[in-house]
Amino acid sequence: MNTKTKGGALFLVSLGLLWSSACQAPAKASGASAPVLSPAYSSGPSRSAALESSSLEQALDSISESGIMADLTFLASDELAGRDSPSQGLRVAARYLRARSLRMGLEPGAKDGWFHNYPLEHLKLDRKATHLVLKHADKQATLDFGEDYFFSSRGLRKFESEVPLVYAGGGTESELEGLDLSGKLALVEPDAETPTWKIPNTLSFKAASGVVIMPNSAGEMPMEPYRERWVQSMEKGRIGWPSADSPPRRPLFSRLYMRAAGAEKLRSLGFLEGELEVGAELDAIATERRSVMTGGPESLENVCAFWPGTDLAQEVILMSAHYDHVGVDSDGEIYNGADDNGSGTATLLAVAEALTKRGPLRRSVLFVWVSAEEKGLLGSRAWSENPYVPDVNGKAARVVANINIDMVGRNASDELLITPTEEHSKYNGLTRLAQSVRAAEGFKPLGNADAYYNRSDQANFEKNLDVPVCFLFSDVHEDYHKPEDTIDKIDGDKIRRVSRLVLRMLDGLQADELML
Amino acid sequence: MKTSLLSALMVLLAPGAGLASFSSLGDMHGTALSVAAAPGSVPPGELSDELASLERGLAEVNAAKILADVSFLADDELEGRNSPGRGLRIAARYIAARLERLGWTPSGNRGWFYDYPVIHRAVDPERSGTRLLAAPTQAEVGAKGVTFLFGEDYFFSPWDAANDTVRGELIWCGSGSREELDGIELEGRMALCTNDGERTGRMRANLRRAGALGAVVISATGEWSDERAERSKRSAMDGLRGSVSYPKWDPAGQIQQPKSSKNFFRYVDLTNLGRAKLLAAMEDFSPEDPPTIGSSLGFDWEDERRFPGDAGLIELENLCGLWPGSDPALSREVILISAHYDHVGVKAGSVYNGADDNASGSSALLAMAEALKRMGPLRRSVMLLWVSAEEKGLFGSQAFADKPSLPDDMRIVANINLDMVGRNGAGELYFTPTAAHPEHNRLAVIAESKRALEGFSALGSADQYYERSDHYNFARKGIPVIFFFNGEHDDYHKPTDTTSKIDADKIRRVTRMVLRMLMELQDDELGL
C-alpha cells in the first residue's frame, strides 16, 4: 500500500471510529456477539415472535458438517480414552466443551461457573465379608462368594437378608403355577433344558425375595463363564451414587448362582433330600450378606452453558446430551463412543454455535452436557435433583422443557426415533413439534423410541423437574458399546440435519405460551 | 485497565440492554473479559479493501477467547504437554479441531499433522522386567521364575536404559569392594550385592572390571531409608519420562538404531518389597549369614530392558495449516508463523502448566487463524506451524525446516516465531535479531513500525536468545526471521507458570502486531 492512499485511509478510519462509537454497534456477522450487542433482537415490542425467517435460514445454514466432524474427531479421539466416568479423558472433554462454549459467546451456566460438580462414590465388593450362611436344624454352612456361589456385577451393593428357603423345583412357569413365594428364597434345581436366564424372572414374578440356582440336571452351571468377569469387575469396583444420599431403593431381588462346591456344602446340610414338593418350605434359613467398600468421593462435572433469551428469558429450554462413554476395557481396547454420545455432544455444540451467530431467542437456552450417564444416568440425576439456572435480568429463571440427544450419527440417513410418543404416558407437544419439522431436514416420520425412554437422561429431567421432555435417538447398531463405535462410521451430514431439526424446534418454541 | 474500559464502552453502546451480563470467564479467572467483539469496527465499503481486511482481522482478535485457549492448553489435565505424552497429543488435536472448523488448508504430511521421528530413550515398563530364574541345572523356580516389577520392586536410572535382554549366573559379591572381589571371576555373570546408601560408583567400577554383566543390589539390613526410597522413586519417574534425542540418519537414509547406554552394566536396585520377594524365593540365602564371596547362589538372573516404540524410535507431531495467497506468483511464497506447543510435563508430581511457555504463543497463532479467516486471502500464502519437542532441543522445527511439507513450487520466505508472549509488563517485548545481530533483517524494521500501535514500548533485544527458540532452525536455512519474546520471569520453567498469571490482552496485542506486520509483507518485493 503506498503512502498516498494511506493518509486518506487513515482519515477514513478515524471517521469510521467516530461513527461507530456514536451509535449502537450493529449485530455483527462475525462470531460471538454477546446478547447485549444484538439490539436487533432486543429493542421494542414490535419484535417478531420467532427468529425472522431469513435469520433462521442463516442460522440453519451456518451449521456445517465439517465443523461437527471437527468436534467429533476431538471427542472420539483415542487420546480421550473413551471418556469414562471418571477419567482424565472425560475431564479433557469437559474442558473442551467449556472452551468451545466460552469462545462462541455462551455464558457460564452453573452456580460456580461452567461446571456443575457433583460427588459419586467408588463401590467395591468386600469379598471377605460377602457370604451366604445356610442353617438347617443345628447345622450350618458358610458359602464363600466367588468360590461357592456368585452373582452378577449388577448386584454390587450393600445388602443383608435373612429368609427361609422354599423349594421351587425346576423353576418353570408351569411348575410354579398358583404358588405364592413371597418373602422366601426360592431354591431351584433346573433341568438342563431350561434356559438359566429365564429362571430369575419367573421367580421374581412369583414375588420371591430371591432365587438360588443349583447346577442343573447335567451338573452344569451355565452362568459359570461369566463368573470370573463379574467377580473381577466387582473387585475392581465401579462408580456409583453416594450410598449415604440414596433414597430407599427397591429391595434387591437376589440372584445367586451355585457352583459345585457350594452345592455340595448346601446338600451336606441334609434339607434337600428325598421327594420334595414344589412350593414346600425347606426348613432352612438363608442369611445373605453383601458388603461393599466405598471410596471417594469422586467429583464429576456436568458442563453448563447459558444463552440468555429476551422477553421470555425467565423460561429456559434445557438442551442435554451426555458426553461420557465407557472408557477402556481390560484388553486395553478404547471405546471411542463416536456415536454414543459424541454425536449428541457435537449436536449441542452445533446448535449453540448457530444460536450465538444469529442472536437470542425469546426464551433462554441452557446447554447441559452430563457425565456418568453410562453409570446409570447419574449426571442428569445429580443436576436435576439440584437444578440451577442462572438468574436473568435479576430474576429467577426456570426450566420449562428439555430436549435430550443421544446417538444420532448412525443408521439410515433419513431415520430418527423419538420418545415419548403418543403411546407413552409422558407424551407432550415436543414430539408433535419435532414431527412437524422433521421433513424439512430429510427425515421420515420419526419412529418410536419409547422402549428407551427410561434408559436416557430426559427421564430424570421429567421426573425431577416435571417438565415436558423429548428424546431424539437414532437407535442402537452393531457397534453399540463396542470399540468399533468409531468416527469413520459416523454420518456427519445426519448429525448436521439433526442439529438443524433441533434448531427448528427451538424456533418453534417462541410463542407467548408454550402449549406442550 | 483495558478490560474496564471495554466494559464501559459496552455499557455505552448498548443502552437499556439490561440483559444478562455478557459472556465472561466466570469462575475461571478474576478478570472479566468479554468475548463480545471489540468496538471500533468499521463499516464496509468505506476504506480500501486491504485496510478493511486488516481492520476485520484485528477486530476478531479477542482477549477472552485467547485466554480460553491458554486455559485449555495449560490445564492440569494436559499434564504439562511433555514430548512425548498424551497431553501433548490432546493439545495437537485441539489445535487441529480449530483449524478444521475454521476451514484452513491442512498442510502437514498427514492432514493437519506433520509427523517426524525422534529417539525416545526411556523405560517401557510394559516390556521391561527383571527376573530371578532357576539355574539351568536346577529345578524350576515357579513356572517362569520370580518377576520383579519396575517401580514397585526395582528401579534403575534412565541413564541405564537399554533395548536388550541379558542373563547370567547370580554370584554373591558382598558389598562389591575391591578386596572382596579380588580373584573372583565374574565374566558374563550377574553380581548380588548389598548397599545401604553409600555411593555405588566404586562398586560398579569394581564389578565392571571383573567382567560382570551387572549387579542386583539389596539393602543388607532390609529397610531402605525413606530418603533412599524417595530418590529411587524419582529416578524411576525420570526413567519413565526418559530422554528425547534427534535421530541420526546413515548414508542409506535409514535412522540409526539408538545404542543402549554406553554403560552396559545392568544395575538393578531392589526396593524393600523386591528384596522380600527375592529372599522368599532364595530360601537358602540370607544376607546376614552369607556364603563365601564368589559363590554361585544356584540361580540365574535375567534382565530385560526395552525402549518404547520401535527400539526407541517414536513419532512426534507438529501442526501445520496453510492460508493460500491470492496472487498467482506471490502465493508461492510462504510467510511462516511459528510457536512451540510443547512444554516439560510433570516433574516430582507437579504439573508444569507452561501457560506462558508456550500456550501464550500457541494461542496467538490460533487467534491469527481466526483473524486471517475474517481477512480473506493475502497476496502471499501464510502458514501457521505449531511445533513440538522445542523443549528437548528445537526438534520439531528442525525436522520441519529440514523437510518442509510444502508443495514443490512453494518456499518459505520469512519466519515469525512467538515464544512466551503473555507475561511481564504490558508494554514490554523483546525481539531478535536486532541491528546488533549479523542476521538483522527488515522484519525488525517492520516490527518497530507497528509496535507502538499495539501499545508496546521500544522493543528490547533478545539477541542472547537467538539460538534458543524455533526461528533458529529456519534462520539456519537462510530464511529471514524474527522472534518475539516477553523476557523471562520468576515462573519460567516452574510449575507456577499458570494461566492465572497470563496477560491475555498482551497476547492479543502481540497477535495484532503480527497481523499488521503481515500486511506489510504483501508488496511485490519483500526486500527482507
CB atoms under 10 Å from CB of A231, counted, come to 18
Mean pLDDT across A209-220: 93
Q: Do A306 and B97 touch (CB under 8 A)?
A: no
Mean pLDDT across A132-144: 96
List, for residues A5-46, the tens digit of each pLDDT value: 444 455 544 454 444 444 433 333 333 333 332 222 233 333
Architecture of the domain made up of B43-118+313-519:
3-Layer(aba) Sandwich (3.40)
| Cis upstream peptide for A341 (omega within 30°) | yes
Distance in Å, alpha carbon of B3 to nearest chain A alpha carbon: 16
Least confident range of A188-202, A372-386, B4-18: B4-18
Which pLDDT value is given to residue A391? 95
- In 3-state terms chain A splits into helix, strand, coil percentages (rounded to 5) of 35, 25, 40
Distance in Å, alpha carbon of B193 to nearest chain A alpha carbon: 38
**Could you give phi then psi for residue B276, rounded to 5 degrees?**
-60, -40
What confidence tier does B228 reach under pLDDT thresholds 50, 70, 90? confident
Considering only alpha carbons, which residue of chain B is nearest residue A396?
A: B20
Q: State how far the Cα of B474 lies from the Cα of B406, in Å rounded to an integer.
A: 14
Q: Do A67 and B101 touch (CB under 8 A)?
A: yes
Is the pLDDT at A249 greater than 70? The verdict is no
Mean pLDDT across B212-225: 87
Q: State how far the Cα of B399 lies from the Cα of B250, in Å rounded to an integer.
A: 16
Q: Do A310 and B19 touch (CB under 8 A)?
A: yes
- Give the three cell numbers for residue B373: 479467516
Mean pLDDT across A494-514: 97
Which pLDDT value is given to residue B137? 61
> How far is residue A298 from each of residues A249, B350, B461, measured CA to CA in Å?
22, 21, 50
Mean pLDDT across A242-263: 83
What confidence tier does B140 reach under pLDDT thresholds 50, 70, 90? low
Does A515 map to a domain? Answer: no
Contact residues, chain B, for A80 at CB < 8 Å: 90
Q: State how far the Cα of B107 lies from the Cα of B322, in Å rounded to an integer.
A: 6
What confidence tier does B307 reach under pLDDT thresholds 50, 70, 90? confident
Is the pLDDT at B23 greater than 70? The verdict is no
Does A250 map to a domain? Answer: yes
In B61-187, alpha helices (H):
63-73, 86-102, 178-181
C-beta of residue A339 within 8 angstroms of C-beta of residue A482: no
CATH number, domain at A192? 3.50.30.30
Does A413 map to a domain? Answer: yes
Does A191 map to a domain? Answer: yes
Do A225 and A183 have their domain in common?
yes
Distance in Å, alpha carbon of B170 to nearest chain A alpha carbon: 35
Nearest residue, CB atoms, A32 vs list B37, B43, B48: B37
What confidence tier does A216 reach under pLDDT thresholds 50, 70, 90? very high
DSSP state, residue A72: H
C-beta of residue A332 within 8 angstroms of C-beta of residue A9: no
Does A9 map to a domain? Answer: no
Touching check for A34 and chain B: CB below 8 Å?
yes
Residue B149, SS3 per DSSP: coil
Of B254, B236, B255, nearest in space to B245 by CA? B255
Which pLDDT value is given to residue A22? 41
Do A52 and A164 have their domain in common?
no
Do A140 and A58 have their domain in common?
no
Q: State how far the Cα of B301 lies from the Cα of B258, in Å rounded to an integer.
A: 25
Residue B382, SS3 per DSSP: strand
Of A328, A366, A368, nearest in space to A344 by CA? A368
Touching check for A73 and chain B: CB below 8 Å?
yes
pLDDT above 90 coverage of chain A, percent: 74
**Rg, C-alpha atoms of chain A:** 29
For residue B387, give every residue at least 6 positions away whose Cβ sits within 8 Å of its Cβ, in sequence order, or none: B318, B338, B339, B340, B341, B342, B396, B397, B400, B470
Nearest residue, CB atoms, B20 vs list A5, A104, A393: A393
> How far is residue B146 from each of residues A413, B125, B139, B169, measured CA to CA in Å?
57, 16, 14, 15
Q: State how far the Cα of B278 lies from the Cα of B338, in Å rounded to an integer.
A: 53
Chain centroid to CA B428: how far?
26
C-beta of residue A288 within 8 angstroms of C-beta of residue A153: no
CA angle B309, B310, B311 (to 5 degrees): 105
Q: State how far the Cα of B303 lies from the Cα of B374, in Å rounded to an integer.
A: 59
Distance in Å, alpha carbon of A61 to nearest chain B alpha carbon: 15
Architecture of the domain made up of B129-304:
3-Layer(bba) Sandwich (3.50)
Of A290, A313, A343, the residue that ends a domain is: A290
ipTM of the predicted structure? Answer: 0.83
Distance in Å, alpha carbon of A300 to nearest chain B alpha carbon: 14
Is the pLDDT at A4 greater than 80? The verdict is no
Do A74 and A176 have their domain in common?
no
Is the pLDDT at A381 greater than 70? The verdict is yes
Is the pLDDT at B24 greater than 70? The verdict is no
Mean pLDDT across A78-87: 97
Do A155 and A78 have their domain in common?
no
Which pLDDT value is given to residue B227? 81
List, for residues B94-107, the tens digit of each pLDDT value: 999 999 999 999 99
The one-letter amino acid code at B372 reads L
Average pLDDT, chain A: 89
Touching check for B60 and chain A: CB below 8 Å?
yes
Considering only alpha carbons, which residue of chain B is nearest residue A98?
A: B68
Least confident range of A285-289, B29-33, B323-327: B29-33
Does A415 map to a domain? Answer: yes
Q: Which of A107-116, A219-228, B160-169, B292-301 has the highest mean pLDDT?
A: A107-116
| Cis upstream peptide for B84 (omega within 30°) | yes
Strands A254-258 and A210-213: parallel
Least confident range of A33-37, A282-286, A321-325, B390-394: A33-37
List, for residues B58-106, the tens digit of each pLDDT value: 999 999 999 999 999 999 999 999 999 999 999 999 999 999 999 999 9
List, for residues B454-476, the tens digit of each pLDDT value: 999 999 999 999 999 999 999 99
Domain count, chain A: 2
Residue owning grid cell 459345585: A260
Touching check for A392 and chain B: CB below 8 Å?
yes
Chain centroid to CA A427: how far?
20
List, for residues B364-394, the tens digit of each pLDDT value: 999 999 999 999 999 999 999 999 999 999 9
pLDDT above 70 coverage of chain B, percent: 88
Of A256, A290, A324, the residue that ends a domain is: A290
Which pLDDT value is given to residue B375? 97
Contact residues, chain B, for A70 at CB < 8 Å: 96-98, 100-101
Do A274 and A347 have their domain in common?
no
Stretch(es) of chain B classified as CATH 3.40.630.10: 43-118+313-519
C-beta of residue B248 within 8 angstroms of C-beta of residue B398: no
List, for residues A172-211, the tens digit of each pLDDT value: 989 888 888 999 999 999 999 888 888 888 888 888 899 9
Mean pLDDT across A417-422: 98
Mean pLDDT across A142-153: 95
Stretch(es) of chain B classified as CATH 3.50.30.30: 129-304
Which pLDDT value is given to residue A473? 98
Q: State how far the Cα of A94 lies from the Cα of A369, in Å rounded to an integer.
A: 8
DSSP bridge pairs for B321: B106, B384
What confidence tier does B9 reach under pLDDT thresholds 50, 70, 90? very low
CB atoms under 10 Å from CB of A296, counted, come to 14
Touching check for B90 and chain A: CB below 8 Å?
yes
Does A321 map to a domain? Answer: yes
DSSP structure string for A380-394: HHHHHHS-----BTT
Mean pLDDT across A500-505: 98
DSSP structure string for B59-95: HH--HHHHHHHHHHHTSGGGGGGBSSSHHHHHHHHHH
Q: What letters, b where the CB count within 10 A reaches 16 and e where it falls short, cover A378-394?
A: bbbbbbbeebebbebee
Is the pLDDT at A404 greater than 80? The verdict is yes
In B376-503, alpha helices (H):
395-402, 442-451, 471-475
Q: State how far the Cα of B301 lies from the Cα of B130, in Å rounded to an integer.
A: 8
Mean pLDDT across B392-399: 98
List, for residues A441-475, the tens digit of each pLDDT value: 999 999 999 999 999 999 999 999 999 999 999 99
Is the pLDDT at B120 greater than 80? The verdict is yes
Residue B192, SS3 per DSSP: strand
Contact residues, chain A, for B56 at CB < 8 Å: 30
Which pLDDT value is given to residue A21? 43
Do A408 and A304 have their domain in common?
yes
Is the pLDDT at A73 greater than 90? The verdict is yes
Q: State how far the Cα of B185 lies from the Cα of B201, in Å rounded to an integer.
A: 20
> How far is residue A52 from each of residues A31, A44, A48, A433, B506, measured CA to CA in Å?
19, 15, 7, 18, 39
C-beta of residue A209 within 8 angstroms of C-beta of residue A184: yes
Strands B154-155 and A159-167: unpaired
Q: State how far the Cα of A411 lies from the Cα of B4, in Å rounded to an integer.
A: 51
Q: Do B68 and A34 touch (CB under 8 A)?
A: no
Q: State how far the Cα of B52 lies from the Cα of B50, in Å rounded to an integer.
A: 5
Mean pLDDT across B162-182: 91
Q: Give residue A464's domain range.
A: 35-120+299-507
List, for residues A331-371, the tens digit of each pLDDT value: 899 999 999 999 999 999 999 999 998 899 999 999 999 99
Q: Which of B40-54, B269-283, B335-349 has the highest mean pLDDT?
A: B335-349
Which of the residues A14, A42, A74 would you substitute to probe the B interface, choosing the one with the greatest number of B C-beta atoms within 10 Å?
A: A74
Contact residues, chain A, for B446 at CB < 8 Å: none
> How far is residue B115 from each of residues A75, B111, B315, B381, B399, measured CA to CA in Å?
21, 10, 6, 22, 9
CATH number, domain at A68? 3.40.630.10
Do A101 and A139 have their domain in common?
no
